[in-house]
């Protein structure tokens, strides 16, 4: 099975290598991909604050932090156990068109982390759900286009991002009210 995945990954990477867009389109894609570094979340924060108010926003932030904690724990354990080399380290013709954030390829952290956040926000504010899930997926696919990830890294990141959300959601269901009450009580004492 892993041979089939590796062969598919190499075919997809070589396809994108042979079908590059213009430099202008590439620069637009780079800008769009940079939004996956966390910049887009400022717009989401503004939307949620305006639409729902501060108390609701606090609950979302707490659950997002739980999701991120779960996600980053899974991410680093998996990444440091698997040590998968990036496409530009394996295929000589592939050049990284954007800087990777770390050494190893699997899973795609951009996809995984952003999807865990997106799923969390979507659980609280479902009207933004479809775009919130679409963004991490497109950012991950563009990272395949730019030569820093394999397709299976993005698929794995997508699945692990959803898993991170579900684990965090279970933790939220068990400990969420205790955490909120503690933080709100702590805030009132300040």
Residue 21 within any structural domain of the chain = no
Evaluate whether residue 9 is within a structural domain: no
Q: Does a structural domain hold residue 158?
A: yes
Full domain range(s) for residue 119: 55-189
Does 105 reside within a domain?
A: yes
107 falls within a domain: yes
The answer as to whether 124 is a domain residue is yes
Q: What is the pLDDT of residues 51-96, one digit of tens each?
A: 877 777 777 788 888 899 999 999 999 999 999 999 998 888 888 8
The count of domains in the chain is 1
pTM of the shown model: 0.83
8 within a domain of the structure (yes/no): no
- Tell me if 68 sits within 8 A of 121, measured CB to CB: no
Mean pLDDT of the chain, nearest integer: 84
Cβ-defined contacts of 51-57 (< 8 Å, 24+): 51/125, 52/124, 52/125, 56/124
- For 125-156, write each residue's pLDDT tens digit: 787 777 778 888 898 899 999 889 999 999 99
23 by Cβ neighbours in 10 Å (0-12 / 13-18 / 19+) ranks as exposed
pLDDT in tens, 8-20: 999 999 998 888 8
């Amino acid at each position: 099975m892993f041979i089939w995945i590796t062969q598919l990954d190499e075919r997809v990477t070589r396809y994108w290598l042979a079908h590059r867009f213009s430099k202008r389109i590439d620069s637009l894609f780079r800008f769009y991909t940079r939004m996956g570094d966390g910049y887009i979340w400022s717009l989401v924060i503004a939307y949620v604050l305006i639409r729902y108010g501060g108390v609701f926003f606090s609950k979302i932030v707490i659950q997002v932090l739980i999701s991120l904690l779960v996600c980053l724990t899974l991410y680093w354990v998996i990444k440091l156990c698997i040590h998968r080399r990036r496409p530009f380290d394996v295929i000589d013709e592939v050049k990284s068109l954007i800087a990777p954030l770390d050494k190893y390829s699997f899973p795609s952290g951009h996809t995984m982390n952003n999807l865990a956040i997106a799923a969390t926000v979507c659980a609280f504010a479902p009207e933004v759900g479809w775009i919130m899930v679409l963004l991490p997926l497109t950012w991950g696919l563009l990272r395949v286009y730019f030569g820093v990830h394999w397709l299976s890294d993005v698929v794995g990141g997508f699945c692990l991002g959803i898993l991170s959300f579900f684990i965090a959601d279970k933790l939220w269901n068990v400990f969420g009210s205790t955490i909120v009450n503690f933080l709100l009580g702590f805030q009132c004492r300040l």
